[in-house]
Amino acid sequence: MTFWPSVVVATPAHSGIGASLSYRSEFSLAPGTLVRVPLGAREVLGVVWDCPTEPPEGLSEGQAKAVASVLDGLPPLNARWRQLVKFAAQYYQRSLGEVALAALPPQLRELSNEQLARRFKRRAKATATAPGAPPAPLDDTGDPSDGLAREGHTLSAEQLETLARLREAAQPVLLFGATGSGKTEVYLRATRDVLDSATPAGQAPTQVLVMVPEINLTPQLEARFRERFEPLFGTGSVVCMHSGMTPAQRLGSWLAAHTGTARIVLGTRMAVLASLPGLRLIVVDEEHDPSYKSQEGARYSARDLAVYRAKVETEALAVEAALLRASPHPSPLPEGDGTESGSAPPPRCQVVLGSATPSLESWHAADQGRYVRLAMPGRIGGGALPRLRLVDMHHQPKGAVLAPPLVAAMAERIARGEQCLVLLNRRGYAPVLACHDCGWKSDCAHCSAYRVFHKLDRTLRCHHCGFTERVPRACPGCGNLDISPVGRGTEQIEEQLGALLADVKRPDGGPARVARMDADSTRLKGSLEQQLATMHRGEVDVLVGTQMIAKGHDFRRITLVASVNADAALFASDFRAPERLFALLMQAAGRAGRDAAHSAASEMWVQTWYPQHPLFATLKRHDYPAFAAEQLTEREQAGMPPYGHQALLRADARSQQAAHAFLNGAAERSLALPWREEITLYPAVPLTIQRVANVERAQMLVEAASRAALQRFLSAWQPVLLDCRSLPEARGLIRFAVDVDPLTI
Ligand code: ADP
Ligand code: ZN
Ligand code: ZN
């Protein structure tokens, strides 16, 4: 008998190949089976989507190629995973194969069946000593600190209340917890609840997915999960998934998750598409963080997919449970569950979004009752949030980069043995180098942007394309020897603080120590961890850095946080800029006063030319709900997200004309499409940085009042976009992309 499996393979949306390709097979192949199939001259990895017994119309036996091989050592990807992938592909306007294959570890494409089988054996051996369940009893004879790591803290009243309400919540949960309120401990307990719950016979062991924006910034989190759960569920029960891992490590983690040996997956946005057959809980920590939105390929939001995924998993579990109840020979109830099957809570997969400054999308969903909002306003240990001190730059000496009162306040802290953080969102020494005689500026030859002056290695570096050169001795325009930096970056602040604090002594009599942490200082592997460690050990008194120093770190002795120059964000054209600034400043403030002993005197300093700006009034009160309400009112009036829905059509081309021609052509040819009257298409515009690495970039904003209308229109538009690539006026178009729910406009 012959079967006609349809197989999805990696094809980008605009390659024009249909959703799946038909092959021939002598065996029936379960949907979700991984196979290798011929494609052109190559053999590629694919996922079986369907396996009909009839050939598709118009295809005869002779025309279809045979499936080359089956990765039969691997269980098929389940229906829930396939539904997630299908949804992501449709929603974000990409091909099924592109999303499906991008969700698999790259090494899976290269390894032969034999190599895979060997991997498996090794894994099986490594985990044989630590079966998934039941959990080993806690050993209470060990040393107490070890016990704490495993058992966790005695929960605060807020944490207890939150966990109780979490167990009851039937909808996605928005955990609105102040910085330092102990959210991580809540995640750990909720994870423990899920992993302890017994699994009915024949089902995959329960699993938990914990997502974080950037794993490297929170090494403590991984340590806490390992300490807590590896003693209970075995080494290998906690795995990571992020782009910093080697291909072999990624394959290992993926296999462990897919086969159920990993009970906890900690990962960045890519982990949302991992195969997790026993998934019962998804945590999205710092859910407001823009890094959850992918900026290339399928531009998906991992947070939004997490919410969708939890719903799909829950629905599938409900169907399974109903089938189980209806079957004449119900399988035995899981051990230890003495309740009647009728009263047991229905199995489900829960999703928890956590943040001290939730995204306005999630906040709005909670306002509407689609999410359950659980608040933890108090900090563990009762520490206060820092007091806001606004420095009006009008009243500071002309040209001062750091206000004298701020420097004096820092000196006081250092003398008391406390630490300070200084935040500036610009790395390098100065954003531009300029000649005041002829007006020359350090442009990048390949981008419409300036190259940044890095004084440490005396280079001019483009932060967009990477183009780097030695700083010229004299002005390339007129030969003037006096070219000078304009504006300031982290290197310069570090240098100035070093000078300003030169006479300040630490309590041990040593000189004050200033360090810098940004993408430049942490480029080498391991250097980030090293720098964090010196900070934790108190060897650094003042840490200067970009937003990476504001995120998630649990520094204990910080009592002063300063933001040196945030004004640009107050008036940026991007309507999300205030939301981002508020989140950043709240997060940064959250680094201060984490140790209650120091918290009374902790302060957040903000240097600004606009101290009357309303954003600062709500920031002063640490009043995120008031800020969110104001912003949401403005967004509602303007029909902006979350009230309206947006997508961007982006075009990259050799010239702006070609990019514009493509966009305008696509707009003209959209007029007859269904749902068109519900859509607003804005004029095509160049991007703010319109040229990067010699590629011209332009975009067109697409808006609709309803998500459904936007979705239907985009689907209908897709074939038109493919056609428009060959418009004669659009010659020189390199690529286009649709970005649904874009974060930056
Ligand atoms: P968040 O993630 O909300 O910023 P964390 O979970 O990191 O906060 O908690 C802040 C600090 O408080 C951590 O050092 C953590 O170990 C500690 N902590 C959390 N819960 C408790 C508790 N119930 N009792 C004592 N300390 C706790
Ligand atoms: Zn010059
Ligand atoms: Zn450049």
- Where do the H-state alpha helices sit in 590-727? 596-599, 614-620, 624-638, 656-668, 707-724
For the CA of 187, the nearest atom of ligand 1:
6
- Same domain, yes or no: 347 and 404: no
199 Cβ contact partners less than 8 Å away, ≥ 6 residues apart: 133, 205, 206, 278, 334
User: Atom 17 of ligand 1 has which residue's CA nearest to it?
Assistant: 182
Q: What are the two backbone dihedrals, phi and then psi, of residue 503, each rounded to the nearest 5 degrees?
A: -95, 0
CB atoms within 10 A of CB 391: 22
Mean pLDDT across the chain, nearest whole number? 89
The answer to whether residues 474 and 576 belong to one domain is no
> Per the structure block, which two tokens stand in for 85?
């992938």
The per-residue pLDDT for range 423-480, each reduced to its tens digit, is 998 999 999 999 999 999 999 999 999 999 999 999 999 999 999 999 999 999 999 9
Residues 461, 524, single domain; the answer is no
Q: Check: CB of residue 126 under 8 Å from CB of residue 236.
A: yes
Report the CATH number that the domain containing residue 662 is assigned in CATH.
3.30.70.100
Q: What is the pLDDT of residues 602-624, one digit of tens each?
A: 999 999 999 999 999 999 999 99
| Sequence letter at residue 62 | G
Question: Among 602, 637, 672, which residue terminates a domain?
Answer: 637
* DSSP letter assigned to residue 75: P
Q: Give residue-wise pLDDT tens across range 483-502.
A: 999 999 999 999 999 999 99
- Give the residue whose CA is nearest to atom 23 of ligand 1: 155
Would residue 128 count as lying in a domain?
A: no
In angstroms, how far is CA 344 from the centroid of its own chain?
A: 35
Which ligand neighbours the alpha carbon of 477 most closely?
A: 2
Alpha helices in 334-472 (DSSP H): 360-367, 404-415
Which atom belonging to ligand 1 lies closest to the Cα atom of 376? 3
Q: Do 409 and 556 reside in the same domain of the chain?
A: yes
Helix intervals (H) in 15-78: none
Closest atom, ligand 1, to C-alpha of 590: 4
Instruction: Please name which ligand lies nearest the alpha carbon of 187.
Output: 1
Instruction: Assess whether 510 and 589 both reside in one domain.
Output: yes
- Do 575 and 631 lie in a common domain? yes
- Residue 738, Cβ neighbours under 10 Å: how many? 21
In a domain, 579, yes or no: yes
Measured in Å, residue 459 CA sits from the centre of ligand 2 at 18
Instruction: Judge contact between 391 and 607, C-beta under 8 A.
Output: yes
- 125 in any annotated domain: no
In what side-by-side order are the strands of the sheet with 279-285?
238-241, 264-267, 207-211, 279-285, 350-355, 173-177, 372-376
| Residues listed for the chain | 745
- On whether residue 354 sits in a domain, the answer given is yes
Instruction: Kindly give the number of the ligand 1 atom that is closest to the alpha carbon of 552.
Output: 4
Residue 48 maps to which CATH number? 3.40.1440.60
Residue 566 tokens read as 């945030």
CB atoms within 10 A of CB 669: 15
- Look at residue 709 and tell me if it is in a domain: yes
Contacts of 156 (CB under 8 A, 6+ apart): 182, 378, 380
Low-confidence ranges of the chain (pLDDT < 50): 128-145, 333-342
Q: Can you give the pLDDT at residue 131? A: 43
Does residue 126 lie in a domain region? no
Q: Report the distance separating Cα 440 and Cα 477, nearest Å.
A: 6
Residue having the nearest C-alpha atom to atom 14 of ligand 1: 554
Say what the pTM is. 0.92
Q: Around ion ligand 2, which residues have CB less than 5 A away?
A: 435, 437-438, 440, 475, 477-478, 480
Judge whether 354 and 575 are in contact, CB under 8 Å.
no
Q: In sequence order, which ranges of 234-374 are alpha helices (DSSP H)? A: 247-259, 302-326, 360-367
Outline where 70-156 has alpha helix (H): 79-91, 96-102, 113-128, 144-151
67 and 215 in a single domain? The answer is no
Axis-axis angle for helices 624-638, 360-367 (nearest 10): 90
Ligand 3 centre from 468 Cα, in Å?
A: 8
Dist CA 13 CA 396 (whole Å): 55
Structure token digits, residue 329: 């020979």
The pLDDT score that the predictor gives to residue 133 is: 41
Q: Give distance in angstroms: CA of 479 to centre of ligand 2.
A: 6
Mark whether 38 and 95 lie in a shared domain: yes
405 and 453 in a common domain: no
Q: Which domain holds residue 183?
A: 157-325+334-376
* Number of domains the chain is built from: 5
602 Cβ partners below 8 Å, 6+ apart? Answer: 383, 384, 385, 386, 387, 558, 559, 560, 592, 593
Tell me whether residue 135 is in a domain.
no
* CA–CA distance, 658 with 90 (Å, rounded to integer): 28
User: How far away, in angstroms, is 621 Cα from ligand 2 center?
Assistant: 49
pLDDT score for 340: 45
Burial of 486 (0-12, 13-18, 19+ CB in 10 A): middle
**Do 599 and 454 share a structural domain?**
no
The alpha carbon of residue 41 and the mean position of all alpha carbons in its chain are separated, in whole angstroms, by 37
Pocket test for ligand 1, best of 154, 554, 586 (most atoms within 8 A of CB): 554
Two tokens, residue 371: 């999410």
In a domain, 117, yes or no: no
Model pLDDT, residue 387: 93
> What is the 285 CA–ligand 1 centroid distance (Å)?
14
Find the farthest-apart pair of alpha carbons in the chain and give their distance in angstroms, rounded: 92
CA–centroid distance, 305 to ligand 1, in Å, is: 28
Distance, CA of 193 to CA of 350 (rounded, Å): 12
Distance in angstroms (rounded) separating the CA atoms of residues 418 and 542? 9
Q: Which ligand is nearest to the CA of 480?
A: 2
The pLDDT assigned to 335 comes to 45
Residues flanking ion ligand 3, Cβ below 5 Å: 444, 446-447, 462, 464-465, 467
Classify burial at 298, counting beta carbons within 10 Å of its beta carbon; exposed 0-12, middle 13-18, buried 19 or more: buried
Same structural domain for residues 480 and 496?
Answer: no
Two tokens, residue 57: 């119309």
Kindly give the number of the ligand 1 atom that is closest to the alpha carbon of 184.
6
pLDDT of residue 733: 97
Q: One-letter amino acid identity for 438?
A: C
CATH of residue 245's domain is 3.40.50.300
Rg of the Cα atoms in the chain:
28
The CA–CA distances, whole Å, from 152 to 147, 370, 383, 700 equal 8, 31, 20, 51
User: How far away, in angstroms, is 449 Cα from ligand 3 center?
Assistant: 7
130's tokens: 């630590």
In angstroms, the CA 652 to CA 31 distance is 37
Where do we find the tokens 């004879």? Answer: 141
Same domain flag for 280 and 301: yes
Three-state DSSP class for residue 257: helix
Which of left, alpha, beta for 507 (phi over 0: left; psi -120 to 50: alpha)? alpha
Tell me which residues have their CB closer than 6 angstroms to ligand 1: 153-156, 159, 177, 179-185, 380, 554
Q: Ligand 3 center to residue 442 CA distance, Å?
A: 11
Of the residues 585, 613, 637, the one at which a domain ends: 637
Chosen domain end from 637, 663, 685? 637
